[in-house]
């Protein structure tokens, strides 16, 4: 079985000062492509988005899983542990007020995470993280979220090094970090040649390029993520093929992945399948 984890980081677009929430307001541009193709997905929203558009988020939750993208889009390595925990706590409280349940999945802003963040997530009831970029093209190592190689399939992270798999039975019984949950990592695993399946790269390289590399190799697990603002036309840095062009590419990419045998899962579905299998 080949699995594709489809997700969106739903956040303000800092480069669009006049309309920072344009991608949020028009997220159905992307979600309607998902609905059309009947695929599940996870939306990692910031607390700012929950504050700005709670009714919109409730509408999205009818069809898709809603996860946490921190309260503010702060890089975790630039704030102390007390502030990190405060933001997680505030997000969880707001989420619970809106939905009556706890969020299950977390993704760190810009994919920057460390060992200290995982115990915080477990304390507030998260059961999986999806922040780790396990591979990145060797010619382009500038992305701040790439912090070294890690497993490219979902795994129980080691307490001492979250980029390593914990193989001990205790990881599957008491939680990878020794608390009460069985927290797992759903890495943002790339296609072949360490090329990430993310909106910016799809817009730059096009569907034909990804079709070519998938013909060379079809990983058992791949992450396909994007930003809320990919689906609206914007100008400036990294704006190539944004808006309608991206939506056409997205539709074509999802159709192709289904044609070559990939099954789509939300983060919660992958977590449940993995933990049920482990038990």
Rounded (5°) CA angle 90-91-92: 95
Distance CA 230, CA 255 (A): 18
Looking at the DSSP assignment, which residues form a beta bridge with residue 227?
9
Neighbours of 14 (CB within 10 A): 9
Smallest CA-to-CA distance from 101 within 68, 137, 147 is with 68
How many secondary structure helices (H) and strands (E) does the chain include? 9, 9
pLDDT tens-digit profile of 232-259?
A: 999 887 899 999 999 999 999 999 999 9
Domains, the chain, in order of start with CATH, read: 2-278 (3.20.20.370)
What is the per-residue pLDDT across 211-225, written as a single tens digit (0 to 9) for each?
A: 999 999 999 999 999
**pLDDT values of the chain reduced to their tens digit, one per residue, 279 residues:** 999 999 999 999 987 778 899 999 999 999 999 999 999 999 999 999 999 999 999 999 999 999 999 999 999 999 999 999 999 999 999 999 999 999 999 999 999 999 999 999 999 999 999 999 999 986 665 688 898 999 999 999 998 899 999 876 556 544 444 443 468 999 999 998 899 999 999 999 999 999 999 999 999 999 999 999 999 999 887 899 999 999 999 999 999 999 999 999 999 999 999 888 655
pLDDT of residue 179: 40
State how far the Cα of 32 lies from the Cα of 105, in Å rounded to an integer: 22
* DSSP sequence for 135-189: ---TT----TT--S---SS-B-B-SS-TTSB--SGGGGTT-TTSSSS--EE----
Residue 222's nearest CA partner among 246, 259, 195, 249 is 195
DSSP 94: H
């Amino acid at each position: 079985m080949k699995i594709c984890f489809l997700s969106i980081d739903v956040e303000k677009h800092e480069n669009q000062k006049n309309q920072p929430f344009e991608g949020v307001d028009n997220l159905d541009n992307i979600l309607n492509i998902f609905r059309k193709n009947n695929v599940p997905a996870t939306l990692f929203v910031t607390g700012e988005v929950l504050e700005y558009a709670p009714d919109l988020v409730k509408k999205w939750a009818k069809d898709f899983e809603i996860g946490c993208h921190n309260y503010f889009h702060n890089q975790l390595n630039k704030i102390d542990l007390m502030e990190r925990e405060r933001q997680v706590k505030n997000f969880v409280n707001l989420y619970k007020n809106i939905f009556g349940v706890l969020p299950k999945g977390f993704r760190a802003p810009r994919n920057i995470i460390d060992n200290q963040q995982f115990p915080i997530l477990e304390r507030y009831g998260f059961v999986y993280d999806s922040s780790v970029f396990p591979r990145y093209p060797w010619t382009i190592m500038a992305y701040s979220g790439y912090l070294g190689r890690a497993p490219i399939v979902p795994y129980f992270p080691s307490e001492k090094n979250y980029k390593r798999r914990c193989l001990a039975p205790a990881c599957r019984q008491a939680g990878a970090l020794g608390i009460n949950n069985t927290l797992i990592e759903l890495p943002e695993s790339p296609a072949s040649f360490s090329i990430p399946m993310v909106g910016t790269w799809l817009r730059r390289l096009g569907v034909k390029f990804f079709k070519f590399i998938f013909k060379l190799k079809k990983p058992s697990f791949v992450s396909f993520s994007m930003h809320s603002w990919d689906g609206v036309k914007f100008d400036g840095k990294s704006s190539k093929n944004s808006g309608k062009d991206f939506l056409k590419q997205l539709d074509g990419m999802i159709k192709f992945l289904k044609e070559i045998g990939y099954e789509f899962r939300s983060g919660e579905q992958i977590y449940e399948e993995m933990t049920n299998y482990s038990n």
